[in-house]
Structure 1
């Protein structure tokens, strides 16, 4: 059952919860994503992990897992692609229509959802074509 759920919904939901419970205007949402979570001293200077950076890293990890999952050709994979498209459409609508979601962090999460959708369909089509070619010989 968990193979059907698109994992990129996790960063979308986390971002939504953070921004909605924080309240305020769109500028405060962008400022919240710029909050430093921790800092690590390096020889080249301190490196700070910000909340927005962490959400993007989580999104990238989820996108990688989704790409690995998309190599299948079963019914669960096809349902996952449809739900991934739904996640992208919802994220795009939030980005375009709701002021608090109009940040660079959420834009990158939306682009990850788009890449997950397109790459999932492409990988599945290529895998199905290869299976058809092997079966036809």
Structure 2
């Protein structure tokens, strides 16, 4: 269970939005306003469903980088699953019409950063574990 990449959550949420689980379905559902706040400046700040997916993905990216610092055999499996998820993101972005949006592209880039950061953190922490005995 610990090896399952958390970036799967925004991937599933995005695909659920495309089939209409959060409203009308399709790319139009990504523009559904989730919250609106009147600012002191008089402007109105709004957050759409697509923006919320990006915020969720960024929080998950932090958690994934934190997970990469652990030293166990599960960490390698987690990195491999994260790489596989990035490949799925890439394939869906290239082949599925509903995934050809800037929101999905940003989610895919966050997934790529997860893969790169995970391997980088693991390699850096592993190099500190190497002890040369005399």
Q: State the 1:38 CA deviation.
A: 1.8
Normalising by the residue count of structure 1, what TM-score does the alignment of the two structures yield? 0.89
Q: State the 1:74 CA deviation.
A: 1.1
Normalising by the residue count of structure 2, what TM-score does the alignment of the two structures yield? 0.91
1:74 aligns with 2:75: no
| Aligned residue among 22, 27, 31 for 1:34 | 31
Aligned-partner Cα distance in 1 for 2:53–2:28: 14
Give the paired residue count.
Answer: 129
Higher relative contact order (CA 8 A, sep 6+): 1
| Aligned residue among 94, 99, 119 for 2:117 | 119
RMSD of equivalent CA atoms: 1.4
Which of structure 1's runs of 4+ aligned residues deviate more than 6 A? none
Structure 1 residue runs without a partner (length 5+): 23-27
Give SS of 1:83's match.
helix
Structure 2 residue runs without a partner (length 5+): none
Q: State the 1:131 CA deviation.
A: 0.8
| Aligned residue among 100, 104, 107 for 2:105 | 107
String of CA shifts for 1:63-94, please: whole Å, max 9, x gaps.
Answer: 10000000123111000000000110001100
Q: State the 1:60 CA deviation.
A: 0.4
Structure 1 equivalent of residue 17 of structure 2: 18
Aligned-partner Cα distance in 2 for 1:63–1:110: 12
Aligned-partner Cα distance in 1 for 2:52–2:111: 16
